[in-house]
Structure 1
Amino acid sequence: MATIAERSQRIVSDWLRRQAATRAEGGAGAGQDGRVELDPLNIGGAFLEMTARLMANPAALMQAQIGFWQDYMTLWQNTARRMMGMESEPVIDAAGDRRFKDEAWHDNEVFDFIKQSYLLSARFVQDVVRQVDGLDQRTAQKVDFYSRQFVDAMSPSNFLLTNPEVLRRTAETGGENLLKGLNNMLGDLERGRGKLSIKMTDMEAFRFGENIAVTPGKVVYQNELMQLIQYTPTTAKVLRRPLLIGPPWINKFYILDLRPKNSFVRWAVSQGHTVFVISWVNPDERLAEKGFDDYMHQGYLAALDAIERITGEREVNAIGYCLGGTLLACTLAYMAAKGDDRIKAATFFVTMMDFEQAGELAVFIDEEQLTALEEKMQRRGYLEGAEMATTFNMLRANDLIWSFVVNNYLMGNEPFPFDLLYWNADSTRMPARMHSFYLRQMYQQNRLREQGGITLSDVPIDLGRVRTPAYFLSTREDHIAPWRSTYRGTQLLGGPKRFVLAASGHIAGVVNPPGGKYSHWINTDLPSSADEWLAGATEMSGSWWPDWHRWVTGFNKDEVPARDPAAGPLPVIEDAPGSYVRVKSTD
């Protein structure tokens, strides 16, 4: 207890000192007059407008309240019946909600009442905010999103006295779980320097090249923005066309080489591809002025030059993942304008080119928030990786925030070693100039879809000029790049296209190997409507990986002797996964 008190005092003192410095310097989170901004996300204005609209139609609000109280009275009556030993049906069901998986939430009348009253209240709040008339789409989306954040935060599972599992653990351990939980919370506050940086996994349990990112290879080229990894072949012969993979620089590349059993990199190597992967740098203030065009020139284009020098092959197949796919589309349009046809087949993993339906990330892209973000980035030279990670975690708050609050702080458990969550916590920074361009030109103004809407290195970008065969892989439950939005890319690029929809989400649906549990849908037609495409699609069991391999090798199946990265014309810099991937945002 003395240690806890000492640590708590130190954390509070450090936090107060930083707040004083922020106000004095007009730093992050402070306005031009030095005052700390109380609403940097511009939530208050959205809810004020919603309230005004509600008050303008009191009859609708009164009707919703009457329905809510009727449900509540039914719940009271059913609970009383259960307490008298009589059977009663639940007013609202929590089937599939992992927050209420403990049997006491159903078997105990008190906890069942708490659970159902919460679910009724949550439904009432969300129904009211979703049925407000007259709100523009962005304001309505923001109100709905933050209402859900509030509702999720207020779940009875998140509190000691209303969580039966936590109460049971507290009784069993004599409260030791709460002391351990407090220690865990203090550790998270210390690591976050006063901000709560929730530990999702054992960050000491994983080592690059030992139990993650273990596919053998060599770093064969590097510049200030990326390292290029060539992987060691496992077949006597390989396909003539090398395969270049461009991951997003919002996250690190090894999501495609996490474990041997679900490593897309390892699998592609085993299928005879000479695999090259771009490993982006984790930038700091020295790269603040790097723009989107720099990532194109020093990323894909530099990689193409290096691959030609190494293999002697001018023609390649390319894959872009998420933001890496958006950059790949831009690069293809740039190359089309320059008469460069080195990329013969392009694959887009969960990639948006039309940002009109950008999903819940659009909540964070209004003028007020962008201005505040740009001011912060200009002071630092970059966007801090932890801030972006928090944004993504909010999209799945129950899974990526509140479940760990319960496990770490209330139950007093140490987080389980999990490689996917290690990758998720291994965040990266964003250069100020690049990130501002990306958010404004694409997310806010949606100019990439327009002919010449954006310009890179003095070249107007026109996706319609791209004639490269394209394979689109999207995922049905994607909360970052909604599949109906990614589908629109098929209507923007020229040339032959194939669209495949995988089950699950932004990560799990992509890294789903043969033998994996998720299915996929195919439809060779590409109507203008995504829903029309799905209506005509056929569900196929298992992974989409073999379908992609058949597609990409359908353009060229020529083989050559295996290419050893250690024997190429460029000197080996170091073993895979290289040094760039090891740089932490906290370094």
Structure 2
Amino acid sequence: MMAVPPTSEPFTAPFPIFTESTDRLMHALQGRFTMAMSPASLMLAYLDWQVHLANSPGKMGELAQNALSKALPLSRYALDSLMGRTDPDPFVPLAQDSRFASPEWQRFPYNVMSQAFLYTEQWWHYATTGVRGVGKHRQQVVSFAARQLLDMVSPSNCPWLNPDVLKVTAEQGGQNLVRGWQNFCDDMTRNLTGRDYSADDTYAVGKGVAVTPGKVVFRNRLIELIQYAPATPDVHAEPILIVPAWIMKYYILDLSPHNSMVKWLVSKGHTVFMISWKNPGPEDRDMGMADYRRQGVMAAIDAINAIVPGQKVHAAGYCLGGTLLSIAAAAMAREGDERLASVTLLAAQTDFEDAGEIMLFVDESQVTYLEDVMWDQGYLDAKQMSGAFQLLRSNDLVWSRMVRQYFLGQTDHANDLMAWNADATRMPYKMHSEYLRRLFLNNMLSKGRYTVEGRPIALTDIRAPICAVGTTKDHVAPWKSVYKIGILTDTDSTFILCNGGHNAGIVSEPGHKHRSYQIATRTDADKYVDPDTWAALTPKHEGSWWEAWQEWLVSNSTGKTQPPAMGAAERGYPAVADAPGLYVLMP
């Protein structure tokens, strides 16, 4: 009987589409219970750390020595506290950790409990870092996960171990717990229904926020373009286009009248246009970064050129909008399109190598898992996005809030920034996948490998002057990452560093107390200065960075002229609605 020779062709699964769809569906179902975070990514990081630690007898010996050396002063401190003696705390919390700051935590036995927790926290930080051979990303993931687990079991989170809660409960006869239960029920109702029944119209869009007068002068499938009404008899010739992030609604830069950047710019004689992004649904799943560039930034610039003919545009992008603007500006420069008078990047990154703690959620396993979650529903839900950001600041956004509202019975007083922060949007499947892979995971923009219309673009092609703004406490776009624009471009760049976080630092209107900034310009011929040296040598100014930026805009403008008409119906851009338009109201 003749033998059949083995085939040289590779094995092909009979139903590859069915196989992949089954895997994706399982991951999508899992994602509903894991906040869209990959269990495999966490497990791989844990195994990497565990195996290397088990194979490092020197590190384990140091851990044992560290535990003993710190246990002795803790024991002595506990004994002295029991005897009524007052000794300095052997362990000091981090500057941003205020869980044990009240005087009640200085009394026995609560002082011993807080010190024991800080001792455990410091030991685990030492145990999860500095293990030779563990990948940098996986080490950061393990350290982050250990910190999250420890935060869960902090004595401050237990009402019967928290002296502040016990004191308030005794003083109020338990009424704080009654109010806390009501707060808990309100939160559950809000989460289940998606509606905030306790909210009023104080910060409703178009009534309390986003009220600067204007007209929607262009609308397509993706954006509405708002043109704001002039407030001065003459205006600067070059209009301003603001490209906000589409992860949230646009009106972060048009909040209440007293802190609206748009209203302030208009009052200074600028013609301002703002993109309002549509909140995507399942039908928009195949909209990608190219659509956001073409139908977003480029469509807005075309409209502005029709309404304000013959003038270049000052373009400013916030967060993701700034990254998209930098892509559009590089593509325009490659094609010889010189319609930009300047480019401003507000807390926006162009190099994602040091993109901050958000990179804890970006690796191949996590991105693939997230793609499967989005594949099922066609978009990334706002709640799934917010979960990751809450974990990055779990002490402030999760546990401290739980203690304050549920145990102490306090209610946070709403403000415009909180109302905006609760008004989250979705992210289309294709766009978010491209954004994560091409920028966060592979950092293609800074390396000259990001393609537009099939050809790579380079930030070095941009010749318009650039102003980049970073904030000192930004956990989304760390200021040192934003600062890199100076070495990624070959044009004059101005960098502004202001105090505050990713949102509150940008919304820093003149007159806001305790605001300061640093500003310096680097020409193309100047030597490079590293960010730490820059921060140490650049003078600090008290007040709002808005004023310095507005002066920079004026210095790159050509003078004053008559205000343009609202829209240009004869050129195909009629005013179709009053600001804030329809898209911002979409749930």
Tell me the TM-score normalised to structure 2 length: 0.88
How far apart in 1 are the matches of 2:114 and 2:299? Answer: 57
Structure 1: give runs of 5+ residues left out of the alignment: 1-21
1:532 aligns with 2:506: no
1:502 aligns with 2:503: no
Tell me what 1:565 maps to: 566
How far apart in 1 are the matches of 2:420 and 2:302? Answer: 30
Contact 1:199 1:415 in 2 (8 A): no
Segment of structure 1 superposing worse, 548-557 or 517-526: 517-526
Tell me what 1:18 maps to: none
1:402 to partner: Cα distance: 1.4
Tell me what 1:550 maps to: 551
Contact 1:253 1:279 in 2 (8 A): yes
How far apart in 2 are the matches of 1:353 and 1:295? Answer: 17
1:133 aligns with 2:136: no
| Secondary structure of residue in 1 paired with 2:495 | strand
How far apart in 2 are the matches of 1:478 and 1:325? Answer: 15
Tell me what 1:388 maps to: 385
1:513 to partner: Cα distance: 1.9
Please report the RMSD computed on the Cα atoms of aligned residues, expressed in angstroms: 2.8
- With over 3 angstroms needed to count, the CA separation of the structure-2 counterparts of 1:225 and 1:242, relative to structure 1, is same
| Letter matched to residue 496 of structure 1 | D
| Letter matched to residue 98 of structure 1 | S
Contact 1:201 1:422 in 2 (8 A): no
How far apart in 1 are the matches of 2:399 and 2:112? Answer: 21
How far apart in 1 are the matches of 2:280 and 2:482? Answer: 28
Question: What is the correspondence of 1:283-432 to structure 2 with a 5 Å cutoff?
Answer: 283-432=280-429
| Letter matched to residue 534 of structure 2 | W
User: Which of 439, 453, 457 is equivalent to 2:453?
Assistant: 457
Contact 2:176 2:408 in 1 (8 A): yes
How far apart in 2 are the matches of 1:24 and 1:540? Answer: 52
User: Which of 209, 220, 223 is equivalent to 2:206?
Assistant: 209
1:284 to partner: Cα distance: 0.4
Tell me what 2:78 maps to: 79
User: Which of 482, 487, 507 is equivalent to 1:511?
Assistant: 507
Contact 2:190 2:197 in 1 (8 A): no
| Secondary structure of residue in 1 paired with 2:92 | coil
Contact 1:491 1:528 in 2 (8 A): no
How far apart in 2 are the matches of 1:211 and 1:248? Answer: 21
How far apart in 2 are the matches of 1:24 and 1:135? Answer: 29
Contact 1:200 1:415 in 2 (8 A): no
| Letter matched to residue 519 of structure 1 | S
Tell me what 2:14 maps to: none
User: Which of 463, 475, 480 is equivalent to 1:479?
Assistant: 475
How far apart in 2 are the matches of 1:169 and 1:384? Answer: 38
Number of aligned residue pairs: give it.
Answer: 557
How far apart in 2 are the matches of 1:109 and 1:299? Answer: 60
How far apart in 2 are the matches of 1:38 and 1:324? Answer: 25
Tell me what 1:582 maps to: 585
1:355 to partner: Cα distance: 0.8
| Secondary structure of residue in 2 paired with 1:144 | helix
| Letter matched to residue 468 of structure 2 | F
- Quick one: percent identity of the two aligned structures? 38
Tell me what 1:68 maps to: 67
| Secondary structure of residue in 1 paired with 2:28 | coil
How far apart in 2 are the matches of 1:477 and 1:41? Answer: 31
Tell me the TM-score normalised to structure 1 length: 0.88
| Letter matched to residue 100 of structure 2 | F
How far apart in 1 are the matches of 2:40 and 2:404? Answer: 28
Contact 2:36 2:384 in 1 (8 A): no
Contact 1:523 1:536 in 2 (8 A): no
How far apart in 2 are the matches of 1:218 and 1:126? Answer: 54
Segment of structure 1 superposing worse, 469-478 or 148-157: 148-157
Tell me what 1:188 maps to: 187
Tell me what 1:9 maps to: none
| Letter matched to residue 89 of structure 1 | P
How far apart in 2 are the matches of 1:335 and 1:96? Answer: 43
User: Which of 516, 519, 522 is equivalent to 1:522?
Assistant: 519
How far apart in 1 are the matches of 2:188 and 2:154? Answer: 23
Question: What is the correspondence of 1:1-400 to structure 2 with a 5 Å cutoff?
Answer: 26=26, 28-30=28-30, 40=39, 42-94=41-93, 97-106=97-106, 108-193=107-192, 202=199, 205-400=202-397
Deviations along 1:393-424, one digit per CA (max 9) or x if unpaired, are 22211111112211222223333212212211
Contact 1:23 1:36 in 2 (8 A): no
Tell me what 1:470 maps to: 466
Structure 2: give runs of 5+ residues left out of the alignment: 1-21
How far apart in 2 are the matches of 1:546 and 1:165? Answer: 43
Segment of structure 1 superposing worse, 325-334 or 96-105: 96-105
Segment of structure 1 superposing worse, 170-179 or 267-276: 170-179
Contact 1:519 1:541 in 2 (8 A): yes
